[in-house]
Each structure stands twice: as C-alpha cells, then as structure tokens.
C-alpha cells in the first residue's frame, strides 16, 4: 500500500508532505498523554513486531498479495496518537532503508496509513469496544485498511494516473479481502498479547513485564528472519494496479537494503533475513527515540 515516487504530481506530493509534517507534529504533542515512561519499551517492540509482520505477504487472489498493516492493532495496544507515531517510524525506515515507498511520497504514505489508517482503526474500538471487543477490533482493522487504500487510490487518480474502471474495481475487491484478513489477524494478535499481559489489552496500563516484551521482540525477529521464507512474492493490490498504469515510478536513490535484501551476503535467504532483522532493530530504536522525544517535550 506504499506509494512509490514518480506517480504523484509535484503539487500533490508537496501538499501532502506538508500536511504529513503537520500531522506528525500534532501527533507528537498528542502522544505525550499516552507515552508513560514505563511504556516506552512497549512502543519499540510493537513497532518492531508490526514492521516484521508487514514483511509477510499472503496471497489474496489474481496474482496479488496482502500483508498486515497493523494500524488498528497498534491503536488498540498503544493508543491512537502513540500508534500513529510508531507507524510513522515504520514508514520512515521502510522508505529510507528499504526503498519501500517513495521519499517524496513519504508524507502521503504517513497520512494514509499512520494518520487516517490508525485513527479509522481506532474509532470502532473507541465507540464499540465496551460492548464487543472482538467485533470492534475486526471492524477497526477492516476500516483501517480500506480507508488507507481509498486515500492512496484517490491521490493517484488526482495525479492523473490512468486506472481502467475494471482494474480499479478488482483492486478494491482485493483490498476488501486483505481488510478481512487484517481483521482476523488483528483479533488473534490482540488476544495473544492479552494472554501475555492482560493489562495492556484491558486498560493500556500496568507495568512492562520483561518476559512479555521479550516474547514479542523474539516473534518479530522470527518473522523477519524465518517467516519471510513463507511469504508470497506476488505484489500487493496497489503495486499491481500501479504496474498496469505504466513505468512512471522512479526511486530517487538506491536505498542500502532495497527490496529488503542485503546484497552479497550469502544466498537470497541470508540476505533477506539479515536485512529484516536489521530493520527490526532500526524500527525499535527509532520508536524508542520518538517516544523519548515526546516525553522530553511534556
């Protein structure tokens, strides 16, 4: 769902980059109320977990794949502002280190997934979570993916990217399938985390238990190093649609670990696993840094 460079027109990406910067500044202020000093490690491990989970693509049909986006999951565990800050860190690392999403398009991607996606995912939890947590989580995860996808498609259409009506409707249907799977995975993940540390799920409070944090961190490392061997190589719905639109996208520079691959390090699996584990570490450190910066401004 990451928009690469070269598809959005300068007025569109420049406007959305400015809006993205403003939203990040707003989020940093709002996150202060959600970032207790004792919870800072949780932001790091949850960011690392979602980054690793996003590497695991699963087939959704017609030669396309999907993956966990994680906006609703982060919002439920961390709170919406802190979750958006963590998602921003993930998107920044993906663009700058792995060439996943454009540099000029980073603002639009932040708005789509870290701002609109996270808050859309949180709304059902906020209004319906007291009645049925599972239903609210599922609805939030579904809504998060669909809102992010619709915003990305709208930005591409405004930029004049040609999308045949048939291909556009098929892409929306595939996004809906991905959104349904996002809901299932989100519910399962929250329940698993609740078994590790009930207070994180029930009240977003309580102390940070080292064993629970370690289990989530090790799961992230496992997904990034071993789980990737089971990931689908098919492009996601947005990538597939962009491919049909033509070869307009061009990256501004060669990222050090482009395509999630450490070139020249053993075989393909070794290079991908090493890049994934490094990415887990980068996201963890950046999330901790963002959280400490938010605390220092309190």
* 249 pLDDT higher than 60: no
Provide the pLDDT confidence category of residue 256 given band limits of 50, 70 and 90.
confident
Given a contact cutoff of 8 angstroms between Cβ atoms, the answer to whether 102 and 136 are in contact is no
Is it the case that residue 142 has pLDDT exceeding 90?
Answer: yes
Q: Give the range among 31-40, 182-191, 204-213, 284-293 with minimum mean pLDDT.
A: 204-213
| pLDDT winner (highest mean) among 57-61, 212-216, 259-263 | 212-216
Is it the case that residue 189 has pLDDT exceeding 70?
yes
pLDDT at position 143 is 96
- Nearest CA to 91 out of 65, 73, 63, 117 is that of 117
Query: Does residue 223 lie in a domain region?
Result: yes
Local structure of residue 103 (DSSP, 8 states): S
What residues make up the domain containing 131?
10-296
Mean pLDDT of the chain: 87
Mean pLDDT of 192-218: 78
- Is residue 206 pLDDT above 60, yes or no? no
Ranking 12-26, 74-88, 156-170, 251-265 by mean pLDDT, the lowest is 251-265
Between 145-149, 192-196, 213-217, 228-232, the lowest mean confidence (pLDDT) is in: 228-232
Q: What is the pLDDT of residues 207-235, one digit of tens each?
A: 567 788 999 999 999 999 998 888 888 88
- CATH value at residue 243: 1.10.1760.20
For residue 189, tell me if it sits in a domain.
yes
Asked if the structure places residue 266 within a domain, the reply is: yes
Q: 80 Cβ partners below 8 Å, 6+ apart? A: 34, 118, 119, 122
Domain assignment of residue 268, yes or no: yes
Of the listed ranges 28-37, 63-72, 211-220, the least confidently predicted one is 28-37
Instruction: Note the pLDDT of residue 221.
Output: 95
φ, ψ dihedrals at 94, nearest 5°: -60, -40
Is residue 67 scored above 80 in pLDDT?
yes
Question: How crowded is residue 184: how many other Cβ atoms within 10 Å of its Cβ?
Answer: 13
When divided into structural domains, the chain yields a total of 1
pLDDT higher than threshold 80 for residue 241: no
pLDDT of 251 over the 70 cut: no
pLDDT tens-place string over residues 108-135: 999 999 999 999 999 998 888 667 889 9
| Contact between residue 157 and residue 163 where contact means Cβ atoms under 8 Å apart | yes
Integer Cα distance of 277 and 220 in angstroms: 8
Q: Is residue 240 part of a domain?
A: yes
pTM: 0.93
Between the CA of residue 34 and those of 42, 44, 153, what are the distances in Å? Answer: 12, 14, 32
* Within a domain: 3: no
């Amino acid at each position: 769902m990451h928009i690469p460079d070269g598809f959005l027109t300068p007025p569109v990406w420049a406007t959305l980059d400015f809006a993205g910067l403003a939203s990040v500044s707003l989020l940093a202020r709002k996150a202060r109320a959600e970032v207790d000093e004792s919870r800072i490690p949780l932001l790091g491990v949850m960011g690392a977990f979602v980054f690793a989970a996003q590497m695991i693509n699963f087939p959704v049909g017609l030669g396309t794949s999907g993956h966990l986006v994680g906006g609703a999951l982060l919002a439920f565990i961390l709170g919406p502002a802190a979750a958006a800050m963590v998602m921003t860190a993930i998107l920044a690392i993906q663009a700058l280190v792995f060439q996943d999403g454009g540099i000029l398009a980073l603002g639009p991607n932040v708005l789509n997934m870290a701002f609109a996606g996270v808050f859309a995912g949180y709304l059902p939890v906020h209004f319906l979570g007291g009645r049925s947590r599972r239903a609210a989580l599922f609805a939030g995860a579904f809504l998060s993916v669909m809102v992010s996808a619709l915003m990305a498609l709208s930005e591409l259409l405004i930029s004049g990217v040609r999308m045949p009506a048939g291909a556009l409707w098929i892409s929306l249907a595939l996004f809906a399938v991905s959104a349904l799977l996002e809901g299932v995975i989100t519910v399962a993940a929250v329940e698993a985390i609740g078994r590790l540390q009930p207070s994180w799920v029930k009240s977003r409070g309580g102390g940070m238990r080292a064993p629970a944090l370690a289990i989530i961190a090790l799961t992230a490392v496992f997904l990034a190093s071993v789980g990737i061997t089971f990931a689908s190589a098919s492009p996601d719905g947005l990538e597939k649609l962009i491919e049909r639109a033509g070869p307009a996208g061009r990256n501004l520079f060669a990222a050090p670990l482009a395509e999630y691959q450490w070139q020249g390090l053993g075989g393909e699996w070794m290079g991908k696993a090493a890049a994934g584990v490094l990415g887990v570490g980068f996201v963890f450190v950046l999330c901790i840094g963002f959280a400490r910066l938010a605390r220092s401004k309190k």
